[in-house]
Structure 1
Amino acid sequence: MLSIVKFQLHQQQKQLSVELASPSGEQALTERWQFNYEFLRVLESSQASSAYAASPKGKAPALATHKKDVVLTRIESVGKHGYRLIFDDGYQVIYAQAELALYHQQADLLWQTYSQQLSASGHGRDAMIDIKQL
């Protein structure tokens, strides 16, 4: 089984690279996953342990909108639980390696579903600018 060995943030492209490798002693295998920051930010994780990601019991999580320009600022290891992703809008979420693997495998379907939900909600991906009259 491959394990995460390195994360690389590409701020200009707003992409996260995840490098995986086989444990020492096994055949040398490597793999690289690419994730868009916005994609990771708008996904609702069933294992999210952040107060920002939690929703009241019995209610569907709120749809994240207007996150096209969000930036992933930091990644922290959370022991055996996974990795905490911290975004510039204050959102934090913990993803286990198995979850990231699933997101990598189902990225197209997950993005299509999100896009449909976004369209149905009447919201968009672009950041909103709150203009107040003086």
Structure 2
Amino acid sequence: MAGLNPQTPIPTELKLYRKSGVLSVTFNDGKSFRFHCEFLRVYSPSAEVRGHEPGQEVLQTGKKDVTITHIEPVGRYAVRLDFSDGHNTGLYSWDLLYDYGLNQEIMWQNYLQRLGASGSSREVK
């Protein structure tokens, strides 16, 4: 993975709220984002979720109740999140988390539309 974009804000705080299933990330430019664990899981940057090329994305289903069980720093540029369903191969760079924060609502609506179109569910079956 390439280094950080030098203009990307850096997190000053990551806080996991286990009861509500939310990861709060505050950046040094003052912006703060709240991510539900489910959102971060279904948009994992791992090859398992994204595929190796555009068009190979794998729709994640049944992740409504997934939680983050562990947060592991990776250098000075990312974190690895361990999820309760065993997934832990995505590296969430600061660039990625910031981008996700700015685009979270659109991304979430796209996810819900893809779920609906496939006849799948956020619930575990």
TM-score by length of 1: 0.77
Report the count of equivalent residues.
Answer: 117
Structure number with greater Rg is: 1
How far apart, in 2, do the equivalents of 1:127 and 1:54 lie? 21
Equivalent of residue 100 in structure 2, options 103, 125, 132: 103
Alignment of 1:1-134 (within 5 A): 2-21=9-28, 30-45=30-45, 48=46, 52-53=48-49, 55=51, 60-92=56-88, 93-128=90-125
Mark the runs of 5 or more structure 2 residues left unpaired by the alignment: 1-6
CA offsets per residue over residues 39-89 of structure 1, 9 Å max, x none? 0000142xx36xx44646676121100100000111111114411011011
Query: Runs in 1 of length 4+ with deviation above 3 angstroms?
Result: 52-59
User: Relative to structure 1, is the Cα distance of residues 57 and 17 closer, same or farther in structure 2, using a 3 angstrom cutoff?
Assistant: closer
How far apart, in 2, do the equivalents of 1:56 and 1:30 lie? 34
RMSD of the TM alignment (CA)?
Answer: 2.1
C-alpha contact 1:39 1:111 (8 A) present in aligned 2: yes
SS of alignment partner, residue 108 of structure 1? helix
Higher relative contact order (CA 8 A, sep 6+): 2
How far apart, in 2, do the equivalents of 1:72 and 1:115 lie? 21
TM-score by length of 2: 0.82
C-alpha contact 1:44 1:61 (8 A) present in aligned 2: no
- Percent identity of equivalent pairs: 32
Which structure has more helix as a fraction of its residues?
2
